[in-house]
Amino acid sequence: MEDAWAGARGTPSATGTLVWPDPKEAAPKIREWHFPGKARSRYKAGLAVWASPAAAVVDGRPMAFVGGYGQTMYAMDLAEKKIRWSWITNGEIASGPAVGWVGEEQAVFWGSADRTLYAHFASTGARLWERELVRPTGSMSGAEISSPLLYADRLYVTCFAYDRALARNEQKGWLFALDKRTGGVLWKLEVSRGPLGSPAGRTIGGRFIAFVATRDGLLQAFDLSAGGPRRLWSFQMPHEVLGSPAIEEGTETPLLFLGSKFGSLIAIDALSGRERWRRMAGNWIDNGACVGEIHGERVVFVGSHDYCLYAFRSADGELIWRRRLGGEVYSAPSFLHLPDRPAVAVAALDNHVYVLDARDGNIISAYYTGSPIWDKVSKGDTVWGSPVALEALAQSALIHGSFNNTVYVIPLVGECSLRALTRSQTSLWYGMGAVAAIFFGVLLPVILRLPARRGAA
């Protein structure tokens, strides 16, 4: 059986979407839900308030799994609008979980800053196994554990741990392979001397190949089909990288796409590691891209801190459209099909989630997701959670962990109380112009006449 959510953004192409192709008439309905998380959790700057969720249909019911700085993984029943189970760890959960099959049951896999990888059954929350990846020392800071990558009976995950002691002074990033059923470590490979992102992978030419990008921009490819890892190639990005690669599907000669804080989106041949094309945004790209298909043509979507969402033709990098939004785009995009058109969803720093027509970039709707709980957002240093989508005809919805400490379930068909009237930066300027016209044309003349009236009286 195919794993429901096999990696950081669900699929190799990083669409961030779970497709529920045939929800029956009797299927439970998806309703708007604002889940507040822990009411009194202590937050510190530089952490993701919520990591990106994972989605799965478990026992016929749509569910989402999400954790964050509150150190707790929540299993959200989207139909019942209730938490089916939760599990407290001893550290922040900075990366999204994965959901896959273990025998006849689905399990959720995630990592925590307590250096531990967790596996629990998706339906009940019962513990399957827990595995400490790094032994603690008195001078070790919390570990950074990526979203897991599931393939066959194995789980792949990266882990970076920093020991501050001068005697050890260890700054190592590892790629681990574990048995998905037992959590036993099969092998580990040192791949960096600093932080690194979540692995992405797919089968190409009969081989399962994983791709890992380090924070300093070194992208590496590993052949994992022969048991142990074999490094195939490496590619140096022009600047720091916070996101993970997106990989084309439906072709045996795929490209992978990765952005950097230099503002460049680069297409790389997945088999050879050679650059195929490069395009520049107006500011840094600090999250992943995604690849969707429109009318038989693959399209790459990526957001930038220049306020824009971009769509490029994957084959040659031709710009199809660019849409300026009301804030800097910090999230990875989600690509999905609504009942009447393909769409792409992103979150921006104006505290809105936008849904756009994937064909031309026109804004379909925007949803207000609240002000941050921290007054100074640390831009460019934190990969915040990105929205994910449940594609289910009239049941389609977004699940987004906002940095106001709330997880929102947003129905995309029908009414939603979060729907906003202001949808782009252009409309913001129009609104400000209208307010200015009212002030200078109506209110200001009245104010200026008030002293004269008092004097006359």
Taking the C-alpha atoms of residue 79 and residue 172, their distance in angstroms, rounded to an integer, is 42
The answer as to whether 52 is a domain residue is yes
Average pLDDT of every residue of the chain: 89
Inter-residue contact 35 to 76 (CB < 8 Å): yes
**Listed range (96-100, 145-149, 183-187, 374-378) with the worst mean pLDDT:** 374-378
Taking the C-alpha atoms of residue 448 and residue 27, their distance in angstroms, rounded to an integer, is 63
What confidence tens digit (pLDDT) does each residue in 343-393 have? 999 999 999 999 999 999 999 999 999 988 776 666 666 678 999 999 998
The answer as to whether 433 is a domain residue is no
pLDDT at 166 over 50: no
* pTM for this predicted structure: 0.90
The answer as to whether 41 is a domain residue is yes
How many domains does one find in the chain? 1
Inter-residue contact 3 to 54 (CB < 8 Å): no
What confidence tens digit (pLDDT) does each residue in 221-268 have? 999 998 789 999 999 999 999 999 999 999 999 999 999 999 999 999
The answer as to whether 277 is a domain residue is yes
Share of the chain above pLDDT 90, in %: 74
pLDDT at 422: 47
The answer as to whether 167 is a domain residue is yes
The answer as to whether 444 is a domain residue is no
The boundaries of the domain holding residue 173 are 17-423
Inter-residue contact 207 to 189 (CB < 8 Å): no
Which amino acid, residue 417? Answer: S
**What CATH code is carried by the domain that includes residue 391?**
2.130.10.10
The answer as to whether 441 is a domain residue is no
